[in-house]
Amino acid sequence: MGGRLIYYDFGMMDEFRPEVKRGLVDLIFSVYEGDAKATCDAMESVGILRRGADRVSVEKIARFFLAEFGSTLKSKGKWVNELDKEEQKKQKTSRRAQLGADLLSLSTDLPFKFPPTFTFVFRAFTSLDGIGKGLDSKYDLTRLAQPFLKELVDLRDGSATISLLKGLQKKLGWRPQDLAAVVQSPRKVAQIEDTLRRAEQGDLKLRVRVLESERAFKRIDIVQSTMVNAIMSSMFLNAGIMLSATSTAAAAAAAAGSPSLASRVFVKGLFAAATMFGLNIPINYMKLRKFDRASVELGLVQKA
């Protein structure tokens, strides 16, 4: 009964700044509330989501997974790791069909980053998960932590009653920011009208992302890079061979025995440049194969 928690190894420890702690708490709350925008705001505040990133695709993916998380909690259904391989495959196929273009845009935009401090957090959870599964094959840290996280959500404001009242305010639209939005609506309508008028006059340029075109341009860019490297490699190789043959013939005609040192150095430089550009050809080819494979896996193109 009871016991004390003792830290006996301080070799790999760190601490969270106050704003990161608040962001993590907000992240937990937003996940249980199913609020995609608040989830992305919290990830941005803790440094996981890069500031200035395109939030459209990120929030769409967040809404999808939060909806799945919420439906699993309400239905008391199985988590993904509890499904058999066939069911997991069906879920992955369904996700690719709905989120393929958005997942590809995330892979190219790289909106997420991994703060070094979180290395210790994931290391601790990985250790706990490994020890738990070693003792019990049915151990699930997520399911075990659920009631404690729910209790944290209920006590967000120091009292479950206050948290409940604030939750009702949010659902009914009685929060201060909701009331302020109602009061400021005429001003916002005027701003929208001004923006539309500027767009009609050509004073405003809209930035529209076409993910399919971005995917095509990305592939074209890799192909063009491969072609440029092949052309440059061939050019330097041919120049090196021609110069080597010419300098050798000139040295033989002059009975010098071998080309001069400067000629040999220059020829080696040409061959080195040809090798450098040539090495980029298989690298770009591997990039192209990886890009095409990702497009097929995400359901953006049909497998040939």
Please give the average per-residue pLDDT across 33-62, as a whole number.
85
CA distance 302 to 296: 6
Lowest mean pLDDT, pick from 21-35, 113-127, 252-266: 252-266
State the burial class of residue 296 (Cβ atoms within 10 Å of its Cβ: 0-12, 13-18, 19+): middle
Ranked by mean pLDDT, which of 85-89, 98-102, 127-131 comes out on top?
127-131
Lowest mean pLDDT, pick from 73-77, 238-242, 270-274: 73-77
Per-residue pLDDT tens over the stretch 230-258: 998 888 888 888 887 777 766 666 655 56
Per-residue pLDDT tens over the stretch 281-300: 889 888 888 887 777 766 66
Check: CB of residue 111 under 8 Å from CB of residue 53: yes
Per-residue pLDDT tens over the stretch 194-213: 777 777 777 666 666 666 67
- Tokens coding 121: 């957090």
Looking only at Cα atoms, what is the longest distance across the chain? Answer: 101
pLDDT band at 96 (very low <50, low <70, confident <90, very high): low
Lowest mean pLDDT, pick from 11-15, 219-223, 231-235, 271-275: 11-15
Top pLDDT among 107 and 286 is at 286
Average pLDDT score over the chain: 76
Q: Which residues of 5-21 are buried (b: 16+ CB within 10 A; e: fewer)?
A: eeeeeeeeeeebeeebe
Top pLDDT among 295 and 277 is at 277
pLDDT band at 79 (very low <50, low <70, confident <90, very high): low
pLDDT band at 77 (very low <50, low <70, confident <90, very high): low
pLDDT band at 157 (very low <50, low <70, confident <90, very high): low
Check: CB of residue 107 under 8 Å from CB of residue 211: no
Check: CB of residue 24 under 8 Å from CB of residue 16: yes
